[in-house]
Amino acid sequence: YCFCWANESWARTWDGKEHDVLIQQEYGGSLDWIAHFDYLLPFFKDERYIRIDNKPVIFIYSCHRITDFDDMLACWRKLAQQHGFDGVYVAEFVNSFNSGLHSHTTDVIVEFEPLCTARYAISALDKAKRLFCKKMGRIDFQDYDSLWECLLNKRRIYGKKIWRSGFVSWDNSPRKGKRAMIVRGATPEKFAGYITRLLLNREREYDDSFLVINA
């Protein structure tokens, strides 16, 4: 196992009150970074924790939200070396909030699916349809096969290695209500076929260390 830091404020998105913040995500300065690392350290030392080149792996959902991001990573890596590691291995997400590479100090890119594809890789007409649904407060229905075909044919370049990523299906209506995106048409058989094609894909400069599946 390893951690993914979903660094967002906790807001009442499930009943439409997205601006009603219950707990604000704050980052602070070096003392907060050290306290955060100290919390993570016992997990990093767990023999089951995933490491690459003696570096514990951590995914960060929204790098751009973090004030002094590169300085925080430099602090964490120094602390990790003090505790017998060779640093920290950071996976940076590209998603609806992060359109591309945020930091050259991260180690790898992961595209958060299917939202990355639905935001950046679909046709202009489908993007217009998504915008219309959002403006009108309607559920944004997407086709499973169409999204997977777009995902498999993406050619986005980030100047950094990418871990393959895919998705089982998607329905965030319990959280978003009528502002949700729901992917229709998924079956286990289709998923098996698409994930196999993704594994065999050599059209992009993928790193073969991991396959990330968003459930």
Residue 191: its pLDDT value, please? Answer: 98
Does 198 reside within a domain? no
Does 100 reside within a domain? yes
Q: At what angle do helices 144-152 and 188-200 cross, to 10 degrees?
A: 10
Residue (of 105, 81, 103) closest to 94 by Cα position: 103
Does 76 reside within a domain? yes
Does 186 reside within a domain? no
Q: Which two tokens mark 71?
A: 């300085």
- Which residue shows structure tokens 């930091």? 103
Q: From CA 154, how far away is CA 55, in angstroms rounded?
A: 30
Residue 79 belongs to domain spanning: 1-106
Does 142 reside within a domain? no
Residue 176: its pLDDT value, please? Answer: 85
pLDDT tens, the chain, 215 aa long:
999 999 887 776 655 556 678 888 788 889 999 999 999 999 999 999 999 999 999 999 999 899 899 999 999 999 999 999 999 999 999 998 888 889 899 999 999 999 999 999 999 999 999 999 989 989 999 999 999 999 999 988 898 999 999 999 999 998 888 889 999 999 999 999 999 999 999 988 899 999 999 98
Backbone angles phi, psi at 63, to 5 degrees: -60, -35
Say whether 201 sits in a helix, a strand or coil: coil
Residue 43: its pLDDT value, please? Answer: 98
Residue 28: its pLDDT value, please? Answer: 84
Q: From CA 61, how far away is CA 70, in angstroms rounded?
A: 15
Q: From CA 103, how far away is CA 106, in angstroms rounded?
A: 6
Find how far residue 29's CA is from the centre of its chain. 24
Does 26 reside within a domain? yes
Q: Which two tokens mark 13?
A: 């998105």
Residue (of 103, 110, 111) closest to 77 by Cα position: 103
Residue 24: its pLDDT value, please? Answer: 81
Does 31 reside within a domain? yes
Does 190 reside within a domain? no
- Our count of domains for the chain comes to 1
Cβ atoms 112, 94 nearer than 8 A? yes
Residue 15: its pLDDT value, please? Answer: 54
